[in-house]
Structure formats: C-alpha cells, structure tokens
Amino acid sequence: MQILELSHELVRTHSQAIIESLDQIPLTAPHTLAGLLAMAKPERPFLEKWRHSLIALDEVNHFVGIAIGYERASEGNVLYPADSIYLNDFAIHPDFQHQGLGKKLLLAFLTHNRQVGFLALSGDLAFSVQTNAAAFNVHVQRLYESVGFRSIGQKVYDNRTDTVYWLE
C-alpha cells in the first residue's frame, strides 16, 4: 500500500471510490465531489487541507482509504480548547476493510502531520476527531483509542451524538 498526500487530481481520479467509502459512515450527509474539493464550510475554513490529508492506494493504484484533515482553530470550549489538526473524514474502501489498513493509515496520518506541523495556526501540536458515540461505532472508537486518542466530551446533534477525541 502506498500513502500519498491528497491532491485535487487524486480526488478527481478516485472520487467514486472515495465517496462510496465515506458514504458508509452512518448518519452523515452524502458526500459529493464538490464537498471533497471544498476549502471551507459556513462555520470554518479547512486550513491547509491538502497538506494534512492522505490517500492510500494499492500496488495498482486502486483506492484503499482516505484521511482528510485540516487545521481547526480553537473554539475556546471544552471540546476544542486549543488549535488542532482535525481529522474530518476517514474511511477505508469496503474491499480493503478488516485487514489492519485503517490503523496503518491512521498512524501514517499522525506521523505525516507531526512532521508537517501547523502551517497556518500555532501552539502545541494536537489532533482532534469526532465520531458517532453509538454502540454500532465502537470499532471506530476503539481504533482512535488504540493510537492514543482520549475522549474529552460529547457533541449532540439532532440525529446523533458524537464523541470528541483529543491526542496531544
């Protein structure tokens, strides 16, 4: 498996497989090419998204997985108390699941971003992610915990509750 920094070109080339993989995530809005290429959403910019995001491909360049991250400014609250590199989207294609590739990609994401560091924000480097707190998602929660993330609270939405994880 090769792991590369994500680019517009790679998103366009693998958009169908990326969207199929991300749309496995329950209770989230459907993903689109425009959404994958976006550099902001109404409430925040995706700072340095392309430098902080990775794509995994197999030996014949088939899509394996994706880790989309960006620099997220502190919200000054208990869930986002400091600047962090936020893992916004993370998925492994169904054909490659249950092979340990999710953990490999997650570790590569952390290693890559420890080397890159903050480019737009400042302070001590930290990572944040939020994921569905439901029992059906315990495998994802355990994955984050297995690499050192710790739960710092929950964020409640109309259709779900997410656990916010932090790693320093």
pLDDT for 153:
96
User: What mean pLDDT is reported for the chain?
Assistant: 95
Q: What is the mean pLDDT of residues 136-146?
A: 95
- What's the CATH number of domain 2-167, 3.40.50.150, 3.40.50.280, 3.40.630.30, 3.20.20.70? 3.40.630.30
pLDDT for 84:
98
Strands 161-167 and 150-156: antiparallel
pLDDT for 29:
85
- Helix (H) or strand (E) segment spanning residue 91: strand 84-92
What is the residue extent of each domain of the chain?
Answer: 2-167
Sign of the torsion angle spanned by Cα atoms 126, 104, 37, 159: negative
Confidence band of 159 (pLDDT split at 50, 70, 90): confident
Residue 28 has pLDDT above 90, yes or no: no
Residue 27 has pLDDT above 80, yes or no: no
pLDDT digits (tens, 9 = 90+) for 76-88: 999 999 999 999 9
pLDDT digits (tens, 9 = 90+) for 110-122: 999 999 999 999 9
Q: What is the mean pLDDT of residues 34-46?
A: 92
Q: How far apart are CA 48 and CA 31, in angstroms?
A: 20
Residue 7 has pLDDT above 80, yes or no: yes
